[in-house]
């Protein structure tokens, strides 16, 4: 485990206690006291560097800050280690492209990207239900954080937070983006001068579906993620993620879940188990480095849109490795 902050600690505990087929043997953090505390708790060793951790481990999870992901992912690829890299692949397109290039040079996929919503039961059910309401026309997304976890910048909101929606809508619709426009308004609470929060991100897909995202990182009242698909024959509302509300044929209703495990706790567990299982089979799981590059290209086009208006989204041809 590289990075033993919030998510690195949660992933390491889960890998050590809940996930079968894995053990946490080495941890590394720039803050060695933090790494030692987690190592003591889990019976792991503290590595003196990321390089040594990678050399000593069968597989690696990267949970360091965004800016370190690309460099550490390339170290893992150079050492040919199966790697689960937290999102985003990188904040900039150049760094994300370097990771994809390193994997293309290797000629096989070793990197899985931590877009864990692809494993969330709410989103999985939503995707499966879309054919039952016809052609998707609009997807409304809400992503509110109580406070900005890493400081509030407009670019950070798009490349770190809204990037979840940039990935999950592409996955939900099985479609690619054509354009993005970000609309900013009156600043909400504690927004620094020159930054914007909340923002509305509006994308069009190649097949013409509209994707709208409310990105609000300082919402104060709590954490909330919502998603509603408006389709030609009805709507699907994921609500708070515990059930899908279906409106169609002049009726509204939903399935009642058996139990509620916490908004994304189950998604993280499924993501980790899928990654460990795939690693044992010599495969990757979930989102790829390519998905990470596309999300970062889209997020950076959104950042430019804040000052320059609507932007086309130009994604290079998909390499065969990611077909």
Ligand X SMILES: NC(=O)c1ccc[n+]([C@@H]2O[C@H](COP(=O)([O-])OP(=O)(O)OC[C@H]3O[C@@H](n4cnc5c(N)ncnc54)[C@H](O)[C@@H]3O)[C@@H](O)[C@H]2O)c1
The site for ligand X (CB under 6 A) is made up of: 2-8, 28-31, 34, 50, 63-66, 68, 86-87, 114, 116, 149, 160
Closest CB 101 distance from ligand X, rounded Å: 21
| Strand boundaries in the chain, DSSP class E | 26-27, 45-46, 60-62, 83-86, 111-114, 136-144, 177-184, 199-205, 210-216, 224-231, 234-237, 245-248, 251-254, 311-312
Reference 106, options 84, 81, 77; nearest CA is: 77
Instruction: Using the minimum distance from each CB to ligand X, give the nearer residue, 48 or 208.
Output: 48
Instruction: Using the minimum distance from each CB to ligand X, give the nearer residue, 48 or 253.
Output: 48
Q: Rounded to 10 degrees, what is the CA torsion of 146, 151, 154, 155?
A: -120
Closest CB 132 distance from ligand X, rounded Å: 28
Instruction: Using the minimum distance from each CB to ligand X, give the nearer residue, 3 or 136.
Output: 3
Instruction: Using the minimum distance from each CB to ligand X, give the nearer residue, 8 or 122.
Output: 8
- The C-alpha atoms of residue 227 and residue 237 are separated, in whole angstroms, by 6
Closest CB 279 distance from ligand X, rounded Å: 18
Tokens of 319: 């390499």
Instruction: Using the minimum distance from each CB to ligand X, give the nearer residue, 157 or 160.
Output: 160
CA distances 256 to 117, 236, 241, 259, 296, Å, are: 20, 15, 11, 9, 36
Instruction: Using the minimum distance from each CB to ligand X, give the nearer residue, 133 or 272.
Output: 272
Closest CB 290 distance from ligand X, rounded Å: 18
Closest CB 208 distance from ligand X, rounded Å: 29
- The C-alpha atoms of residue 29 and residue 231 are separated, in whole angstroms, by 46
Other Cβ atoms within 10 Å of 301 Cβ, number: 25
Instruction: Using the minimum distance from each CB to ligand X, give the nearer residue, 60 or 199.
Output: 60
CA 223, 228, 233 angle in degrees (round to 5)?
170
The residues that bridge with 181 in the sheet, in sequence order, are 202
Closest CB 13 distance from ligand X, rounded Å: 13
- The C-alpha atoms of residue 245 and residue 247 are separated, in whole angstroms, by 7
Closest CB 72 distance from ligand X, rounded Å: 7
- The C-alpha atoms of residue 120 and residue 266 are separated, in whole angstroms, by 7
Closest CB 175 distance from ligand X, rounded Å: 22
Tokens of 131: 């054919």
Nearest residue to ligand X on Cβ basis: 5
Instruction: Using the minimum distance from each CB to ligand X, give the nearer residue, 65 or 233.
Output: 65
């Amino acid at each position: 485990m590289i990075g033993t902050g919030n998510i690195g600690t949660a992933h390491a505990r889960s890998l050590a206690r809940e996930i079968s087929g894995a053990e946490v043997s080495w941890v590394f953090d720039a803050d060695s006291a933090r790494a030692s505390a987690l190592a003591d708790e889990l019976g792991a060793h503290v590595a003196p560097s990321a390089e040594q951790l990678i050399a000593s481990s069968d597989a690696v999870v990267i949970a360091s800050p965004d800016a370190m992901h690309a460099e550490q992912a390339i170290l893992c690829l150079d050492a040919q280690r199966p790697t689960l890299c937290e999102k985003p692949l990188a904040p900039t397109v150049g760094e994300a492209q370097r990771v994809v290039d390193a994997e293309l040079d290797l000629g096989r996929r070793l990197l899985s990207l931590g877009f864990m919503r692809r494993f969330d039961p709410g989103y999985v059910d939503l995707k499966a239900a879309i054919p039952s309401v016809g052609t998707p026309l609009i997807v409304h997304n809400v992503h509110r954080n109580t406070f900005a976890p890493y400081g509030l910048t407009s670019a950070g909101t798009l490349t770190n937070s809204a990037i979840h929606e940039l990935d999950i809508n592409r996955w939900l619709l099985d479609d690619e983006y054509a354009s993005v426009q970000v609309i900013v308004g009156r600043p909400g609470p504690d927004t620094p001068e020159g930054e914007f929060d909340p923002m509305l991100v509006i994308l069009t897909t190649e097949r013409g579906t509209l994707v709208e995202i409310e990105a609000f990182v300082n919402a104060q009242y709590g954490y909330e993620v919502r998603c509603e698909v408006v389709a030609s024959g009805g709507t699907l509302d994921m609500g708070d993620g515990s059930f899908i509300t279906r409106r169609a044929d002049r009726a509204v209703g939903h399935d009642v879940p058996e139990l509620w495990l916490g908004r994304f706790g189950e998604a993280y567990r499924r993501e980790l188990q899928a990654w460990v299982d795939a690693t044992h089979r010599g495969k990757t799981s979930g989102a790829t480095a390519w998905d990470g590059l596309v999300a970062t290209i889209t997020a950076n086009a959104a950042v430019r849109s804040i000052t320059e208006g609507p932007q086309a989204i130009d994604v290079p041809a998909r390499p065969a490795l990611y077909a």
